[in-house]
Amino acid sequence: MGILGAGRSTVSEPEVFLTTTPEATETHYPIPHGTLVETVQDVVRGAQWNITDTDYALFHENNEMFAVWRIQNGESHPDYDLTIGLRNSHNKMFAAGMAVGSYVMVCSNLDFSGEVVIGRKHTRYILRDLRGLVETAFSKVQAMRILQDRRIEVYKENTPSDTEVHDFLVRSVDQNVMANSYIPKVLKEYRTPSHEEFFNEGRVRTGWTLLNAYTEVFKSVNALTLSNRTIKLHRMLDVLCNGSEMSLEDVSTPEPDAIAEDYTITERLRNWGSLN
Q: Is 243 left (phi over 0), alpha (psi -120 to 50) or beta?
A: left
Is the confidence at residue 273, as pLDDT, over 70? Answer: no
Residue 192 one-letter amino acid: T
DSSP-assigned letter for residue 176 = T
176, part of any domain: no
The structural domain count of the chain equals 1
Q: Identify the pLDDT of residue 169.
A: 97
Where does the pLDDT of residue 261 fall: very low under 50, low under 70, confident under 90, or very high at 90 and above? Answer: very low
CA distance 103 to 82: 6
209, part of any domain: no
154, part of any domain: no
Where does the pLDDT of residue 235 fall: very low under 50, low under 70, confident under 90, or very high at 90 and above? Answer: very high
Q: Which of 118-127, 136-145, 237-246 has the highest mean pLDDT?
A: 237-246
189, part of any domain: no
Residue 4 one-letter amino acid: L
The pLDDT > 70 percentage for the chain reads: 85
Q: Which domain holds residue 25?
A: 13-145
105, part of any domain: yes
Write down the pTM of the prediction: 0.80
173, part of any domain: no
38, part of any domain: yes
CA distance 43 to 45: 6
Is the confidence at residue 5, as pLDDT, over 60? Answer: no
Is the confidence at residue 240, as pLDDT, over 70? Answer: yes
DSSP-assigned letter for residue 218 = G
265, part of any domain: no
Q: Identify the pLDDT of residue 160.
A: 96
Q: Identify the pLDDT of residue 248.
A: 81
Do the Cβ atoms of 92 and 25 come closer than 8 Å?
no
Q: Which of these ranges, 13-22, 79-88, 119-128, 181-190, has the smallest mean pLDDT? A: 119-128
Stretch 53-80: mean pLDDT: 88
Q: Identify the pLDDT of residue 34.
A: 96
Tell me the average pLDDT of the chain: 83
Is the confidence at residue 1, as pLDDT, over 70? Answer: no
Stretch 129-135: mean pLDDT: 88
Is the confidence at residue 254, as pLDDT, over 60? Answer: no
Q: Which of these ranges, 68-72, 73-77, 83-87, 129-133, has the smallest mean pLDDT? A: 73-77
